[in-house]
Structure 1
Amino acid sequence: MFRIIGLLTLGILSLFSGRAIGAGAEDFYKGKTITFVVGFAAGGGFDTYTRMLARHFGKHVPGNPATVVENMTGAGSLVAANHIFNKADADGLTIGNWIGPLVLQHILGNPAAKFDGRGFGWLGVPTPDSGVCALTAASGIKSPEDWLNSKRPIKIGATGPGSTTDDVPKLLREALKLPIQVVEGYKGTARIRLAAEAGELDGGCWAWQSIKPTWAKGVESGKVHIVLQSMLESHSELKHVPLAAKYAKSEEARDLLKVADGPYGVLARPYSVPPKTPKERLEILQKAFMATTKDAELLAEARKAKLDFTPVDGPTVAKLVNELYDLKPAVTDKLKQIILPKK
């Protein structure tokens, strides 16, 4: 009898506790504004995804807070990553969107990466990236064979070390011996596109999920060619485009392409909050993120904008980030030679 009463009491307390948490969250977020900090310039893929998510995010958070998007460019989004980790308030009102492979820069010992990837609170990823290299028709390169036989290095635009635009071309250059000149310093893929269209660059390497909506006119007109896929598996829309793995001649080359497939694929565009964000608020934001990526209105908007949404949840992202810190020493030594900034 007493045991039954005890169980009923625990159940009632649990019910009221859950309601109290929900009410507390609603009280906190009501009338507040959540700021999304994007590490790249307006008009690029990261910015495009974030602005779409932000438009629908507030309705999935208790209290329905407002949202605003800020662009904090610099060093291939490293400025934004450092800001989220070291300066942003850990109150659940600031969400960062910077390129995930920057975690490798910390692992490999780049002192400019002033964070530990294991310390962030991870909300999730809207969709894994499928890396490709897009070159202009003016470059004269229409196939990997053209590229391998080029008498000059092909100028590839990049933002900075730790970004897909920077690291993947370097990995491809090492693995496949492609003639590549990486030109760093652009503040986002929107700037790289403009430079390529002006003839300043031959093109760039980043996600098809970003190129498809933002460089659609170039691709559809034939002024831009998708020449190579850097991932291990072909994207369903790009079965006609060769995989880089086809041209790998050694086990080391294949290992480097596996790196290009991992951190630069699933982990490419994560959303994070500062360390020590209260667990309750982190969980609320994680749930809101996943709910937003499945929101019917967002998905209808995404179809019109040609944006893919195949979300990966926060706990999975956290697990994958932690696994990067367990890379074999031989792999990290090689990566240091290839992708760390030269002193």
Structure 2
Amino acid sequence: MRPCGSAASVGAATRHVTQIHQNPQPTRLTSPHPECPSPSLLILLLILATITVLLPEIKSIMKLLSTSNLLAAGLLLCQWVSAATPSAWTFADATLQISQKGAEAGAKRKFTSTSPITDDLTLKSTDSLKILLTTKEGDTAKRPHQLFLFVKDTESELESFFPFDIKESGKARLDLTLKDIPIALLSSSSLSLTLTVGSFGQSTPLSLEIAKVTPVLDAATKKSLPEPALKYQKMKEIHHIFRAEPKSPPKVISLVFLVAVAVCLPGLFGAWFSLSANVSHLPKSLAASPIAHPLFFASLLAFEGVFFAYYTQINIFQTLAAVTIISPVALLSGSRALREVRARRLNGER
């Protein structure tokens, strides 16, 4: 095979041209060798060959891809169904038993999530309370992360919790005595027992009141109970009933005492004169203290008038106000008047 565009081809073309000039009849130019394929044709052939070789592998990849898509869709569907219908925690084979120490075991009372115990239960100092049950997540017996019994005072809202002893199979047990319960709850007349079950995941937890029990305390336990705490809250309305104002005694009694005092006054003045009361010094004392003696005597009369007014018409507050005004006058004038009397006595004047 000769290469394209060689010298032989050029020579052949020259001979054909020479023949054209010699022969007037038109002739068709043809090349003795076929033309070479173009580059685009070579690329197309290469792509077709590659696809032909890799066709089995491409079919396998497409088949695997469709299978994974179906698997993912199935998983998403299962997850959606499980999320749409989540399971819930519950329990089965639940019993509550109260037994007295040193006596036969008490009767077992069964309860479920829909039918709690309605009997009146009492728990004494010598009794023990036992609860047996099996926890379930949906229909499968399983151990939850948390399982508690809440003991709550329905009046004060105080509560305490007690954990169950749980096995991997979901079987749980709780033993409770009166001494295990805090003293603050024992003063209540009724305690509610609430069962609480919960764990991780999407399952709905459970909180259910299963029974009510009344604590019965002995004398020693009652003495140890704390006094109720003082609560600062709104008190009940108080209606005050004031005592009636005291009444004055009858006027007859007052007049009797007034006459008795008036009768005693002449005797008082007579005693003064009999004891050498010197009235002749009055001008001299008034000359020495013309203001102090009259003010002091007037303040004494004012005190008597205030006391008489308090007895007849004014109240204690008005009396104190009047005494507060008169007292400074009596104090100042009395000190000056008595100072003048002392000076005369030191001079030997009686």
Shorter-chain TM-score: which interval?
Answer: under 0.3
Higher relative contact order (CA 8 A, sep 6+): 1
Pair member with larger Rg: 2
More helix by share: 1
Q: Looking at secondary structure, tell me which structure has more strand per residue.
A: 2
In the superposition, the TM-score normalised over structure 1's length comes to 0.22
Structure 2 length as normaliser, TM-score? 0.21
